[in-house]
Amino acid sequence: MRGEVLEAMLPYLTEHYGNPSATYGLASEAANAIAIAREQAADLIGAKPHEIFFTSGGTEADNWALRGALLLVETSMRTAEGKSKRHIISSRIEHQAILRCLKRLEEEGLAEVTLLPVDREGLVSPADLKDALRPDTILVSIMAANNEIGSMEPLAKLADLTHEAGALFHTDAVQAFGQIPLDVKKLGVDLLSASAHKIYGPKGTGMLYVRETIPFRSMIQGGAQEKNRRAGTENVPGIVGFGAACVCAKKTLPDRMRREGALRNLLIKRAEEIYPAARLNGPRPKGVGLAHRSSLLEQGTRDEEGPGKMPDWRLPGNVNICFPGKSAELLLIMLEAEGILASAGSACASGSLDPSHVLSAIGLSEDDNRASLRFSLGEETSREEIEKTADALERILK
């Protein structure tokens, strides 16, 4: 996949250097390349090309979704009494791009925020959302899949409830985009954020899907790029690489899901055999041991709603395991000495000594939080590497 992405980008790094917003001949080559990439990104999520707006990454797209919703307050988004709608609902396990932006909006006095709890598997309850919705709710923002524990939310049900209350629904799909089936029309989402680097595209490129009926406004003031929605000269090589990555992701998605899911299950099984006290954080895949099932699972919600019917509701490439009594920090150092790279918490919070807010939200104690490791699997991960990882864990833990 990486080779195809680089091959698509190279001409726009070496030959086709025109500014796509200019009027000279060279500009048309770049403009056409962006138009094709827009079609490729739209095709991956069942959107229309004119609903795709390219950004510098998922963080910008998330911030734009939140602040853009508030900009609508100045126009049509008002309560029956004519009051501005400034209430936003999200969850406690969102990425920091959402949580920190919401905190800033509160500090600026622009919004009132409600953060919904999650159950022990990291799922937002539709009943909790229904109770939290108010006449002045303008936006609900719930991530499609969690970056730390892999839990996939029942988006379709959550979006339905949101629309019944007259609000917009946004999903941070950075972790799910190109990893599981996503169809914005079937899910009913109004706004969706994504990033190229999660599907082997270039870093520093992302997008925001905006349903065509929403009069969204630009958050960055300047030129007329992206149909007056996002000012700034387009990153042509990055956008072209993003489009190529979307094509590859769609073509390989079913096989990648099956393959990564099988390897994920193997790593979970081996880890629990090696260290019987180990506990999986997040949803347990079907057929991998016995475990408590959340109320949503028991009700069948996750088989009926969300990003298509899935064999299980954990991201195929995500493993997050607690090793009670151990130090994740020391385990990471010892694993790296064996050539194995894992993480504790989110990559975007690296360097922080604070416990993971996601693991705290699903009920882990501080000790168990600091004893948890995350392993990320990708298209190049092999069975041999999973066995090597398990063998290294066995040596280190014993």
Looking at the annotation, which residues are catalytic?
348
The contacts of residue 140 (CB under 8 Å, 6+ apart) are: 88, 89, 90, 129, 133, 158, 159, 162, 167, 168, 169, 170
The strand pair at 191-195 and 206-210 is best described as antiparallel
Amino acid in the structure at residue 301: T
User: For 194, how many CA atoms within 13 A lie in the half-sphere containing its CB?
Assistant: 32
The beta strands (E) that lie in 162-233 are given as 168-172, 191-195, 206-210
Q: For residue 376, what are the β-bridge partners?
A: 318
- Of 339, 322, 321, 315, nearest in space to 267 by CA: 321
Report d(CA 368, CA 277) in Å as an integer. 11
Report d(CA 58, CA 38) in Å as an integer. 16
Give the C-alpha distances (Å, rounded to integers) separating 309 from 142, 150, 312.
19, 16, 8
Q: Cβ distance 119 to 362 under 8 Å?
A: yes
Query: Diameter of the chain by CA atoms?
Result: 67
Instruction: Give one DSSP letter per residue of 56-94, joined into a string.
Output: SSHHHHHHHHHHHHHHGGGTT-B-TTSPBP-EEEEETT-
